[in-house]
Structures are given as C-alpha cells and as structure tokens.
A and B are shown apart, each in its own frame.
Chain A
Amino acid sequence: MHDRFRLIRALTRPRIAIFLIAVPGMLHFLFFKYYPLLGNVIAFQNYDLFRGIWHSEWVGLEHFIRMFDYGEFILILRNTLLIGIYQLAFGFPAPLLLALLINEVRVKWFKQTAQSVLYLPHFLSWIIVGSMFIELLAPEGPLNALLVQWFRIEPVYFMTEPVYFRSILVSVGIWKAVGWGTIIYLAAMAGINPSLYEAAVMDGANRWRQMTAITLPALTPAIVVLFLLNVGHLLDKNVEQMLVFLNPLVRDVGEVIDTYVYRVGLIGAQFSYTTAIGIFKSVVGLVLVVSLNQMSKKMTGETIY
C-alpha cells in the first residue's frame, strides 16, 4: 500500500514526470535515428540476412577498398558531385532572386495570387511531378510536338538522352522548389525595418542600391545558413526525385550514390558494400559541414550550430 503511493508520488515529481513525457519521443529518436548507426558495422562484414550481424563473417576494409578499385563507384561519385554542384549553382540563387523580385511587387492581390501559384508545385509529390514532366517531354508529348511543328526537326528523346538528363533534373527540381524556397527569405525581409528604406530613398538611393545596401545584408544570415545546409547535403540526392527520372539509358550520367545504394544494396542485396558507401558519404558530409561551419564562423560569424 505504502509502496504504491511511493511510486505514484515519485512519478509525479516534476522532473521525473517531464522526463517521462519526453520518453516516447526520445525512444523514437534512439530507435530510428541512432540505433541504425550501429547497423553500419555491417560495412566491415559480408552481411548475410539469414545469419544476422552476429554470425556474418568479418572482412575488414575489403568493401572500402573495392569502392575505389572498381570504376563504377568513381563514376557514381562524379555524377553525384556534378548534379549536386549544378543544383547548388542554379537552385540556390533561384529562390533568393525570386524572393527579391516578389518583394518588389506592390500590388497586394497580385503578390498573394502569384505566391499561391508559385507554392503549389511544392505540394505535389515527385511521382506526380515526375510523371507530368515525363509526359511533357516525351517524344509524343507537347514540347516535341511544338518543336517538330516550328523547327521541323525530329522529336528529341529528352528523358533518355544522357546529354539532357542533368539539366532536366535540375530544372524540374527548381520548378518544384523555387516558390516554396522564397518563404524563408521573405520572412527575413519582413523583419527589415521599413524606415531604413525610407531613409535610403531620401538619400537618393535607387532600387538597386536599396537592395544591395539594405535587403541583402539583412538576408545574409539566412543565406549563409541555407548555403551551409545545402553544401553539407551535397552528396545527398533526393531519392524520390531521382527514382522517377532515372532510366537505364541515362544511368551513366544519372546514377547517384543514393540510387546506387537502393538498386545494388536493397534490391541487389549487397548490404555490406552499399553500407560502406553510405559510411563514406556520411563522412564526407560530416567533413563538409564541419569545415564549412568553421570557415563560415571566421568569415561571417554565422553557423548552423
């Protein structure tokens, strides 16, 4: 009897109670985010699904050596880097530019309508967006129909020509994300004191000068943080996007680390090898994030953490 009251009283003590409230969430993080880290150990084994971790043989660094010995990984790494850099070069400035332009729109209803329309692609799944563009760019699709009509050329197989693949990938990615990406910048811009602009106008600053002297500096923290996050994820391609567009004909230019891990690791059941690749990717990501963060701290004082 006494013990039961003791227990209840213990459970209702503030620090214990609040901790208990947090337990489900913490367990979730532990299980789904941290426990998988232990699974990385299979990169040093020849993991056999049926034998499990404890009974699969150990092979040390064999998989890591294999990664660099075989040309295929270098190819995939190259694709991943190139696509990542394209996305960074075009996809990073795009929302910023768009946000700056949206900011200049004075007509309220127009601004709001435009924004509503621009946000829409973000809410469509990659399946939907991907299938849409596959249809649009198909040899029997409208774009080719227009090209054939106006320029009298043969239909272009956009989706299966390696030379177009990366550009299409990045462009569609921008199409989907640019509108939504402006939000962060618009939020920052909303925080700028309007009297700064008024003072600038009185001093005779034109639109361009206002932008460079007031708006951009105010956006710098957001720009830097987003840039750091983006570069840290340079090797992380959006699997959902890639899987829709990837087809055997463009594999040489389009296969990235994540799709390779999916295809060879999950479907091909080469768990250990692809886990080793995953470790490599994480390490590179870690190095990128930490070093860029340090650099950023020195140069601009902004950091992610």
Chain B
Amino acid sequence: MPAFKSDRLFHALNHAMFVALGLIMLLPMVHLLALSLSSSRFIQFNEVYLWPKGFNLAGYEYIVGQERLWRAMGVSIYITVVGTAIALFFTLTLAYALSRSYMPGKGLILKLILVTFIFPVAMIPYFLVVKQLHLLDTLWSLMLPNALGAWYVFITKTFFQGLSNELFEAGRIDGCNEYALFWRIALPMSLPVIATIGLFYAVNQWNAYFDAIIFIRDQHMYPIQMLVREIAVVGNMTDNMEDFSRVAGEVSQKQVIAGVILFASFPIMLVYPFLQKYFVKGAMLGSLKE
C-alpha cells in the first residue's frame, strides 16, 4: 500500500490518540495505587498524582488486618463460584433443549424469552417476589434471581445448534436417551461456550451490588462491592469508630480508601489478562448472533 504523506500523518495521529486514550483508561487506577502507598503528610496537601510520596505500606497493613474485608471477599468469591454454577445449570439445560428441533413449544418459548430481553423487570415487583420466596437476607437472593439471562441463552442455543448432528445420531443408535445425549455428548463438547458464558456470569456476579443493597441487611453477608461502597462511597470507615482513630496517626483515610478500592479490584485485575480473549470471543459470538 503506497504510503502517502497524509497517510503517515493519519497513522501518527491515530496512534497518538490511542496512546492518550489508553492513558485515560489507566491513569485513574495508577493514581489510586499511588495514593494507597503514600503517607498522609503528602496526601493532605494534594501532592500525590501518579507516584507515591512518602512510600509506606501502612495502609495495606491496616487493610490486610481487617477481618470484615476478607469475609466480604470470601462472600463474593462464594457467590461468584456458586452463582455461576447455578447460572450455567439453568442456561445450559434451557439452551440445549431449545436447540433441539423437536422441543415442544420452542417457537413460543423463544419469543417469550426475547420479550424479557427487551423489557427489564420492574424493581418493586422484583423485590416483592424475592421477599415472597423468603430469600431476603440470604445469599440465594444474590445468586438465584439473576441466574438466567436471555442473551446468554441465545448464545448458548446457537452454539448447541452448531454441534454436528451425526454425533447425536450415533448416540441414539447406541441407545442413549435424551438425558444421556445431553450429559454425555452435548455437554463435554460445549466447554468453549461454558467457559465463555461462565466468565460473563462470573464477572457480572462479582461486580453486581444493587441486588445486595436491596436484599441484604446483615453486614456479615456483604459482598466485597457492598463493603467498598460502605467505606468509599458512604464513608463509614469502620463499624466502630475507635478502631480507625487508633491507626489514624500514620494512615490517612484516603490512603485506606484507595487501598480498599484496589483490594476489591485485585481479583479482576489478576484474571483479566488471562481471560480477556475468552471475553472478547464471547462478545463477538454474541454480536454475530444479531
């Protein structure tokens, strides 16, 4: 391709823009990192930008010692793992069934599912239903209601439809009934879609906090996002004031808040590089279905 002068200019500008954009995406977290490692002297006078000043780990020492943070982390891990398993159960079974041409009522069911995609459930009835099922203040309320998403059902269904029919035919000849066909043939072949959908559900589970706000009162069951919200957004640093002032001498509130925010994003940041390509592939699958 001939490299015209204007072409070169365009590419230079384009690349520069992406560098700038990338920085805009990353710098906020870098700033938080710097804050979390800086001493209160410098934080007080707003001198911390991208590099820690008065480097100290006292903030993180405090955070690591906070039992409730670890508990919340544990709650989040639990509802993410179990919640995703539950979601996969519902999604895979439904999508598989809908992918079979002999499924009774297939057309109607698909339309009904599509409708739920376009119209979200109203907040109050949603709350009342969960209440009626006696799920309030239990971890189930965080895992069950959002265990099925129309979009994921469609993606998974498309995947199952793509599986070669010969395998199923062979299975039938061998005497498999429908359940065996699903369990022994379809499922083992669906690891790619399980990985993709599972990851999507998992990330959603990890990041969600609205359900926790409306369903959970017991502080011991707060997922990590709720706790971060308490600390960083609402401003309740501790459940008992004395705890913080004891440490307050060395550690500024901001340092701890920044550290807590990073603490909560640590798991996602950890898995992101490895799983990013699955997410992207999944999203592309989903968009192509359109």
CB-contacts of B31-60 with A (<8 A):
31-32, 35, 46-49
Q: How far is the CA of A110 from the CA of B96 in the complex (A)?
A: 39
**Using an 8 Å CB-CB cutoff, how does the interface string of B76-117 with A read, 1 for contact, 0 for none?**
000000000000011101111110101111000101111010
> Could you pull out 5 A-B pairs where Cβ atoms are within 8 angstroms?
A28-B94, A29-B113, A121-B25, A134-B233, A141-B46
Q: Is the interface of B mostly helix, strand, loop or mixed?
A: helix
Question: B280 at interface (Cβ–Cβ under 8 A)?
Answer: yes
Residues of B within 8 A of A258 (CB): 123
Q: Check if B142 is an interface residue, CB within 8 A of chain A.
A: no
A92 interfacial contact with B, CB 8 Å: no
User: How many angstroms between the C-alpha atoms of A236 and B122 in the bound complex?
Assistant: 10
Q: Does the CB pair B290–A21 fall under 8 Å? A: no
Q: Which listed residue, A25, A38, A225, A261, touches B90 by the CB 8 Å rule?
A: A25
Measured between beta carbons, the chain B residues less than 8 angstroms from A140 are: 46, 254
Q: How far is the CB of B146 from chain A (nearest CB, A)?
A: 8
- The reply to whether A201 and B1 contact each other, CB–CB distance below 8 Å, is yes
Q: Which residues of A contact B26 (CB under 8 A)?
A: 117, 120
Complex contacts, B94 vs chain A, CB 8 Å: 22, 24-26, 28
Is B145 part of the contact surface with A, judged by Cβ < 8 Å?
A: yes
Pick from B22, B144, B284: contact of A117, CB under 8 Å: B22
B residues in contact (CB < 8 Å) with A: 1, 7, 10-11, 14-15, 17-18, 21-22, 24-26, 28-29, 31-32, 35, 46-49, 89-91, 93-98, 100, 102-105, 109, 111-114, 116, 118-129, 133, 144-145, 147-148, 153, 177-179, 182, 203, 206-210, 213-214, 225, 228-229, 232-233, 254, 257-258, 261, 264-265, 268, 272-273, 276, 279-280, 283-284, 287-288, 290
- Among candidates A26, A38, A221, residue contacting B109 with C-beta atoms closer than 8 Å: A26
Candidates A132, A221, A232; contact of B29 at CB < 8 Å: A132
Min CB distance, B52 to chain A, in Å?
13
Chain A 151-198 interface residues, beta-carbon cutoff 8 Å to B: 175, 179-180, 183-184, 186-188, 190-191
Secondary structure call for the A interface: helix
Minimum distance in angstroms from A236 CB to a CB of chain B? 6
Instruction: Report yes or no: B288 in contact with A187, Cβ–Cβ below 8 A.
Output: yes
Check A39/B179 contact, CB under 8 A, given A29-B113, A240-B210.
Answer: no
Q: Which of the residues B111, B147, B232 comes within 8 Å of A131, measured between beta carbons?
A: B232
Q: How far is the CA of A278 from the CA of B14 in the complex (A)?
A: 45
A213 interface residue per 8 A CB criterion: no
Q: Nearest chain A CB to B208's CB is how many angstroms away? A: 7
When chains A and B are docked, how far (Å) is the Cα of A278 from the Cα of B124?
A: 8
Once the chains are docked, how many angstroms separate the CA of A117 from the CA of B273? 10
Give bound CA distance, A19 to B98, whole Å: 9
The answer to whether residues A125 and B182 also contact, given A24-B89, A118-B25 and a CB cut-off of 8 A, is: no
Q: Within the complex, which residue of A98, A225, A278 is in contact with B122, where a contact is CB–CB below 8 Å? A: A278
Of the residues B124, B209, B257, contact of A274 by C-beta under 8 Å: B124
Task: Say which residue of B10, B24, B213 sits within 8 Å of A104 (CB atoms).
Answer: B10
- Cβ 8 A contact of B182, one of A21, A261, A262: A21
Out of B11, B46, B284, which one reaches A187, CB within 8 Å?
A: B284
Given known contacts A183-B287, A266-B127, A127 and B233 CB-to-CB distance under 8 angstroms: yes
CB pair A36 B125 closer than 8 Å: yes
Say yes or no: B49 contacts A29, CB within 8 Å.
Answer: no
A286 interface residue, CB < 8 Å from B?
A: yes
Q: Which B-chain residue is minimally distant from A233 (CB atoms)?
A: B120
Q: Are A28 and B148 in contact (CB under 8 A)?
A: yes
How long is the Cα–Cα vector from A186 to B286 in the complex, in angstroms?
Answer: 12
Q: Does A96 contact B (CB under 8 A)?
A: no
Partner of A39, one of B89, B95, B129: B129
Chain A: number of interface residues, binned into ranges = 35 or more
Chain B residues with CB under 8 A of A102: 18
A243 within 8 A of B: yes
Most buried by A among B120, B124, B147, B203: B124
Q: How many angstroms from the CA of A28 to the CA of B22 in the assembled complex?
A: 41
Take A21-B97, A22-B103, A201-B1 as given contacts and tell me if A119 and B233 are in contact as well, using a CB distance cutoff of 8 Å.
no
Q: A12 and B229 in contact (CB under 8 A), knowing A123-B272, A240-B210? A: no
Residues of B within 8 A of A130 (CB): 233
Task: Assess whether B89 is in contact with A124, with CB atoms less than 8 Å apart.
Answer: no
B48 x A142 contact (CB < 8 A): yes
Q: Check A252 for interface membership: any CB of B closer than 8 A.
A: no
Please tell me if the beta carbons of A25 and B153 are within 8 angstroms of each other in the complex. yes
* With known contacts A124-B265, A131-B257, A33–B118 Cβ distance under 8 A: no
CA distance A17 to B46 in the complex (A): 66
Q: Which residues of B contact A199 (CB under 8 A)?
A: none
| Bound CA span A275–B261, Å | 35
At the interface, yes or no: A296 with Cβ under 8 Å from chain B?
no
Determine the distance from Cα of A114 to Cα of B18 in the docked complex, in whole angstroms.
7
Say whether, besides A124-B268, A128-B264, A243-B213, A175 and B24 are in contact (CB < 8 Å): yes
Q: Are A132 and B28 in contact (CB under 8 A)?
A: yes
Q: Is A150 engaged at the interface, CB distance under 8 Å to the other chain?
A: no
A31 to B121, CA, bound (A): 11
Interface string of A15-53 (1 = CB under 8 A from B): 101110110111011011111111110100000000000
A116 contacts across to B, CB distance below 8 A:
273, 276
A28 pairs with B209, CB closer than 8 A: no
What's the Cα separation between A239 and B102 when bound, in Å? Answer: 40
Say yes or no: B124 contacts A232, CB within 8 Å. no
CA distance A118 to B19 in the complex (A): 10
- Do A127 and B124 touch across chains, with their CB atoms under 8 A apart? no
